[in-house]
Amino acid sequence: MKLVPFLTAILVAVFLYFLVIEREAFFEFAGLSQPETTEAEETQETAPSETAEETPNVVSVIARRSEARTIDSAVILRGETRAVRQVELRSETSGTIVSDPLRKGTFVTAGQLMCEIGVGTREIALADAEARLAETRSRIPEVEARVPEAQARIEEAASRLNEAQINLNAAEKLFEGGFASETRVANALAGVRSAEAAVQTAEGGLKSARSGLENIQASILSAEAAVASARQEIEKLAIHAPFEGILESDTAEIGSLMQPGSLCGTIIQLDPIIIAGFVPEAEVNRITEGVRAGARMVDGTTIQGQVSFLSRSADQTTRTFLVEIEAPNADLKIRDGQTADILIEADGALAHLLPQSSLTLNDEGTLGVRIVAADGTAQFTPVRILRDTSQGVWLGGLPPVANVILVGQEYVTDGVPVLANYEETTQ
């Protein structure tokens, strides 16, 4: 061990002993006087004890004198974008594709040909149906002519019946006068019966003629239906876009066999775009159709529009209501299925901007803050969060001016006296 450090340590220890333990003797030996305690220091030393004696059981807290401000209390939701229209074009008939396919991502216009199926024997079937229709129509004059002919026969039979009845009346009178035989009366009666039978036959012929006319008309309707069906079958061969949009899949490849229900292609329309979200029932009455709204995508893209639909029926599982916002998307930057933060315009409300750390819970689990009441005691006040920002949370439910405890609210309950130290802040 070196001697010098050891001696130095002994001297330092002796010096500290006299400086701390024998402080008065050290100052007398050195010819110095101890520093006198100032009046301010004495006041500071005695102030806490005096305050504590004057205000027993008082808890010191830090508070802020907050004044409410009117903010635009928008309804904030989480949702997603949706295409305003989406359709799957499917075949209504069978056949082989004869058109070149369109590739996915292609922009198509309304009425543009998407898929074309080979005509096959459908034109022959149409020609056959048209020929049958023409043949049936050609029979109309012949059938229609039978009706007046049957009517003429009825008139002829009726006149013969009238003549036979006259002859019968004459024969009966002559027989009563003894100028005609009984045979003549019988012949006259037979003539009446024959004329009546002829009238009935003529009436049956008229009914048959009219029935034939009805049958030919029914045949014409059937032939016209066959022609319409053949033409419609040909129209089904060409599948057109019902509206302008973007292809989400390739159309059917040339040469592929289509069956009824086979997919030709999928088209979506993104202009305008729909932003859909679900609003809780506590805030659904704050939204009305037609109000302004906006959305921010995950990549920071923003878009503005207006509420186009608000559901009147709640989802049975979540008890929320569907709200849809329609916004222009001419450049098609917004895609279908993107996540979006939605803000819907609502009536303004008075709110206080406070740090999130000022929030607390009461024994019932209600969210709120503690304020300094007029009598200097702590008081719990329920609040509702209107908006969460990087500067703090905007709270509603407080009076226009409130002394909110920021530090120490967890150590007091309602009615406990507090000693509030106020911080200066600007909102």
More confident residue, 4 or 220: 220
Q: Tell me the percentage of the chain whose pLDDT exceeds 90.
A: 50
Q: What's the alpha-carbon Rg for the chain, to the nearest Å?
A: 53
Answer yes or no: is pLDDT of 51 > 90: no
Assign 165 a pLDDT band (cuts: 50, 70, 90).
confident
pLDDT in tens, 15-47: 776 666 666 666 666 555 554 544 444 444 444
Q: Does residue 64 sit in helix, strand or coil?
A: strand
Angle, helices 182-235 vs 140-177, to 10°: value is: 170
From its phi and psi, is residue 143 left (phi > 0), alpha (psi between -120 and 50) or beta?
Answer: alpha
The torsion angles phi and psi of 89, rounded to 5 degrees, stand at: -80, 120
Q: What is the pLDDT of residues 261-286, one digit of tens each?
A: 999 999 999 999 999 999 988 788 88
**CB 241 within 8 Å of CB 110:** yes
Task: Give percent of the chain with pLDDT exceeding 70.
Answer: 88
Decide: pTM greater than 0.75.
no
Give the pLDDT confidence score for residue 90 in this predicted structure.
Answer: 95
Task: Identify the top-confidence range among 191-195, 198-202, 325-329.
Answer: 325-329
Q: Please write the tens of the pLDDT for every residue from 128-146.
A: 999 999 988 888 888 888 8
Region 59-83: mean pLDDT is 89
- Residue 278 burial by Cβ neighbours in a 10 Å radius (0-12, 13-18, 19+): middle
pLDDT of the residue at 19: 64
Q: Which residues of 16-41 are buried (b: 16+ CB within 10 A; e: fewer)?
A: eeeeeeeeeeeeeeeeeeeeeeeeee
